[in-house]
Amino acid sequence: MGRFNFGFQSVAALGLLVILGCNNSEQAETPAPPAEAVVHDHPSEGPHHGALIELGNEAYHAELLHDDATGTVTIYVLDSTLTLAVAIDASEILVNFSHDGEAEQFTVAADPQSSDPDGKSSRFVSTDGELAEELEEHEEGQLVLIIDGKQYRGSIHLDHDHKEHEHKH
């Protein structure tokens, strides 16, 4: 009879552990929402209807406008929310392209807006026809600029099909 009691007690204790274990695991297994579930809305164009360039993991943005008719390229420096102009202490910024193993670099000169503080600019403009051609021929490049002493590089991705569609309207 002692054996039976020992077996019954063991089974009862095991059952109690399973029940307690299930209760604890249910509380511990409440899943946190995965990082991928956080929805982050990315606009497809900037406030001037240009192509967006992300700078520093979205710390800043730049907006690139390319006027085919005049060959003018305009780049605006914007904050992370794309709502405020960010005037930087630079007389020019750089646009780089690489194709067939050859690097090509263009400067885009400061053209301060009236709201920019003296000596700073949030707008940069180039009338270099060669830069305009590069933007027309290549869909990817790199923007390089310095904001508050830190260098930022942003990939330029142009959707020529979308751009052509916009010019038809």
- Residue range 27-45, pLDDT digits in tens: 444 444 444 433 445 567 8
- Residue range 100-157, pLDDT digits in tens: 888 999 999 999 999 999 999 999 999 999 999 888 887 689 999 999 999 999 999 8
User: Do 71 and 125 meet the contact criterion of CB atoms below 8 Å apart?
Assistant: no
Q: Which two tokens stand for residue 137?
A: 């021929």
Round the average pLDDT of the chain to a whole number and report it: 78
CATH code of the region 51-168: 2.60.40
* Residue 96: pLDDT band with limits 50, 70, 90: very high
